[in-house]
Structure 1
């Protein structure tokens, strides 16, 4: 297994959670990938020593790599690259983020495509996730490339619903699909909560939606994010977290990561890594399980080609197509609209 960006905050969490869950045995190889000439190349020495101190005889063989051509793993996690600005008052521009990380994606995708032997399974969690998936899927077999962003968003959405009903997250069935960004799509029509009858759930969902259109959700996210981050910038962090709790569950799931980012060390590394390690566990378990993931379509839905987050079966061989999601028309419209946003960001990165 290889983790590209292992020395970063999210990468450290991935390898720590990976070993804490005992997903790799002592005979396995774990490659920690850093940037040659950068600080990460030095930091990985300390990270390896720290991991061995923590996990001792249970730790896998840990290799330090600073050359993309030396990456040699069956499963590769892409979690390196620039993130959103550290200033809460700055504009969050995913197109500019795409331009920053495109060359990094291409460097590692080209190296993996050129290596001898079979192709690895690649899990992308760097942003923009959709661009990362597009780059790797253009060079590798597309069914062996997935993005974990939709699963991260789904975990957040389910947690917000669970909190609303006072149940465990495992009692909730719900999904966030579309873009890992402002154009995410909450699938309200398919929400289920174990132990809650249909009438009560329908009334709660109606209250959450409040007559709001999914077509307007991206604009809502932008407006509310500006309001909340202005509070953070003014030092009213407690007020910002209190204000976000007054919003519907879909907005809470979309906006809380920004509050976390700007108040907890400029990262949401714990849940970001948790989503990746969940997928690693599935890939190693042997069974295909349905998860919302970013994938590259090639005409499976209405002739559409492009990267988007959808529920698919995922397992050791990558993702398999399942039947198109049975969702309402407004959800499908929002899903199709997000393709335009993704395409525009990716096109900017190629310009």
Structure 2
């Protein structure tokens, strides 16, 4: 009997290959998906790759990891044109989930190990954080830079997840008005105008040099803030406010109570008053209003005194007319729109209080968190 033509062309190898492919398909369907940790590590690596600078003209908020190719004639190829679409940049209440980049900026005259330890403990993804410092070009500044570089070196050579996207250190190109950084000297009334105008210049130099086109948030954090919640960035950005500031307190030993206690420290976050406005109207064009001095009774409502330390509600929010800069979170677009720290009397205000006024003139409201605390070093 003759065999059908199709059966004569069928080979046993065909059945073997079909069985092998079917087995492979089943293995693919039944194999477990990658673990959450693997996915997280992959996302972290991807974010670090996306954050890497591609040419020497990249802003200092990006780590420069790639070198330009050398052409056949031996010369280095010119850097490419880089395009940034600011319309796609977001600053939202879900900053960490959306991978929004944060720039921490710190004017630094003295180095406190507690400050750096506190920054390293921040739980916001470190690959999304860039840090910038500006230090006076003085003997004390040299000492501070040496200690700072040592601390940075340990962190940036440690575990990958602890490393920041980039760290920049700037040196001031002008002399500070005060040679002494003693707390009593810094806070004398007669030193405030020149000190705070100098601070404004330092803040602006730092801001304009380091603000990158992919920066969503700017956290101004003073170098003597040695304690804050590890979730500081997430907590502040969660309010989705253009400008927001926590309450700055200080821990100290209360001799009357014979135990450790807390007290207000920063009095620059306030609601304006009619008395302050009248006082400003009587001033000369170069005079400034300052808070916390008996010689200038402003009778403003100070956020420092509105805290409920017994039963705090960290999410309680209030509108402010002036802000302090000890821990100040700002949407980067507020700075891009022109709000900076006036080194001149702006409505008789300078530095951070002048910044709040300038931001408000641009249409941005400042907010405060009276029951959310960061702590200042106690000298």
The TM tier, using the shorter chain, reads: 0.3 to 0.5
The TM-score, its normalising length taken from structure 2, stands at: 0.33
The TM-score, its normalising length taken from structure 1, stands at: 0.35
Give 1 or 2 for the bigger CA radius of gyration.
2
